[in-house]
Copies of this chain bind each other. A is one copy, B any other.
């Protein structure tokens, strides 16, 4: 009953570079991590060579990882840190303080986990009309327009077509694109913001393959802000396997310590948990499954769930409250950094 897995058969559902690099073995990138106010900021620059191997685009990727954004203190810390890093991002991309901006909110405002883009773009302080009416605008403000193109399924039009037409008409100096993404780990969902200069593929995270929105296709810088709000069942199961291995490792390592029995059901953090199990132990625990690599595990689970229709894309049940907070956060930070408020 040997199980050969064709790795090419299914694509990996993630829009986060940080997750891609955790899963794939490539070289040709730099990766740094710092922590500020409890938020982990990871910065990746990917070379053309490495990018080619994993079918992604070379460039700058930065993720901010945080805990519950519906908590007021977390929210405030995240707002401060994101404001700082978004400023640095604009500087890094050499966006001048006078450059005209078009903010684009991708996604479907009628579908809660996909509504982050539209809800953010609605709250942007637009000023382009003041400039175009020839008014004398306070120099703190730059020219900003904001727009939600809707989704392919309800407009019948590719997002890229709409944006190409609009960019030709109003000629912004750069684009900021906001989108909800798919995560490929449970812990990322609603807990990560990714900034990248490589643009975005609308719908790429959820199995579609719309055309790319990037500097290559629109000929102006495209700064993308993405937040994973959905995850598929394959990821949930696959993550759980890794946690099982960490669970056994933790118990093996700690079971003789006197404190163990008291800790048994308190909160645990496996972030730093090393894998102390040898191959035999894993096989004993998890059989053939224990011998698969994380990527192989995922492929196999996909092979089981897909034909029976249960590889659902899901979102945490609190999604309404999270999307509301995240859209306030992103619009507030964009308003402060695009204008000098």
Name A residues whose Cβ lies closer than 8 Å to a Cβ of B: 1, 109-114, 122, 126-130, 132, 143-148, 150, 152-158, 161-162, 164-170, 186-187, 189, 206, 230-231, 233, 236-237, 239-240, 243-244, 247-248, 251-252, 265-270, 281-290, 301, 303-310, 312-321
Cross-chain contact A320 with B112 (CB below 8 angstroms): yes
- Write out the residue numbers on chain B whose beta carbons fall within 8 Å of the beta carbon of A243: 304-305, 308, 310
Identify the interface centre among A128, A130, A312, A319: most chain B CB within 10 Å of its CB: A312
Cross-chain contact A152 with B169 (CB below 8 angstroms): no
Cross-chain contact A267 with B164 (CB below 8 angstroms): no
Separation in Å of the A158 CB from the closest CB of chain B?
Answer: 8
Query: In the complex, A126 Cα to B114 Cα: how many Å?
Result: 19
Cross-chain contact B310 with A187 (CB below 8 angstroms): yes
Separation in Å of the A209 CB from the closest CB of chain B?
Answer: 11
- Write out the residue numbers on chain B whose beta carbons fall within 8 Å of the beta carbon of A154: 122, 126, 146
- Write out the residue numbers on chain B whose beta carbons fall within 8 Å of the beta carbon of A314: 231, 236, 314-317
Query: In the complex, A236 Cα to B167 Cα: how many Å?
Result: 43
Cross-chain contact B156 with A128 (CB below 8 angstroms): yes
Cross-chain contact B147 with A157 (CB below 8 angstroms): yes
Q: In the complex, which residue of chain B has the Cβ closest to the Cβ of A233?
A: B236
Cross-chain contact A286 with B284 (CB below 8 angstroms): no
What's the dominant secondary structure at chain A's contact region? helix
Cross-chain contact A270 with B308 (CB below 8 angstroms): yes
Cross-chain contact B186 with A310 (CB below 8 angstroms): yes
Cross-chain contact B150 with A266 (CB below 8 angstroms): no
Identify the interface centre among A114, A230, A320: most chain B CB within 10 Å of its CB: A320
- Write out the residue numbers on chain B whose beta carbons fall within 8 Å of the beta carbon of A244: 301, 304
Q: In the complex, which residue of chain B has the Cβ closest to the Cβ of A110?
A: B320
Please list the 4 inter-chain residue pairs (A to B) with the smallest Cβ-Cβ separation, ordered nearest first. A165-B165, A126-B156, A128-B156, A287-B287
- Write out the residue numbers on chain B whose beta carbons fall within 8 Å of the beta carbon of A252: 1
- Write out the residue numbers on chain B whose beta carbons fall within 8 Å of the beta carbon of A320: 110-112
- Write out the residue numbers on chain B whose beta carbons fall within 8 Å of the beta carbon of A130: 156
Cross-chain contact A152 with B170 (CB below 8 angstroms): no
Query: In the complex, A249 Cα to B106 Cα: how many Å?
Result: 43
Query: In the complex, A281 Cα to B144 Cα: how many Å?
Result: 55
Cross-chain contact A236 with B239 (CB below 8 angstroms): no
Known interface pairs A247-B303, A315-B316; 7 further A-B residue pairs with C-beta atoms within 8 A, sorted by A's residue number: A126-B153, A129-B156, A146-B156, A161-B170, A243-B305, A268-B307, A314-B317
- Write out the residue numbers on chain B whose beta carbons fall within 8 Å of the beta carbon of A187: 310
Separation in Å of the A258 CB from the closest CB of chain B?
Answer: 19
Query: In the complex, A318 Cα to B146 Cα: how many Å?
Result: 21
Q: In the complex, which residue of chain B has the Cβ closest to the Cβ of A10?
A: B265
One of B1, B285, B308, B319 near A285 (C-beta < 8 A): B1
Cross-chain contact A114 with B148 (CB below 8 angstroms): no
Separation in Å of the A66 CB from the closest CB of chain B?
Answer: 14
Cross-chain contact A265 with B306 (CB below 8 angstroms): yes
- Write out the residue numbers on chain B whose beta carbons fall within 8 Å of the beta carbon of A237: 236-237, 240
- What would 24 A/B residue contacts be, using CB atoms closer than 8 Å? A1-B285, A112-B319, A114-B317, A145-B155, A146-B156, A147-B155, A157-B166, A161-B166, A164-B169, A165-B166, A165-B167, A165-B168, A166-B166, A206-B317, A233-B236, A236-B237, A267-B307, A267-B308, A267-B309, A286-B286, A313-B316, A313-B317, A314-B317, A315-B315
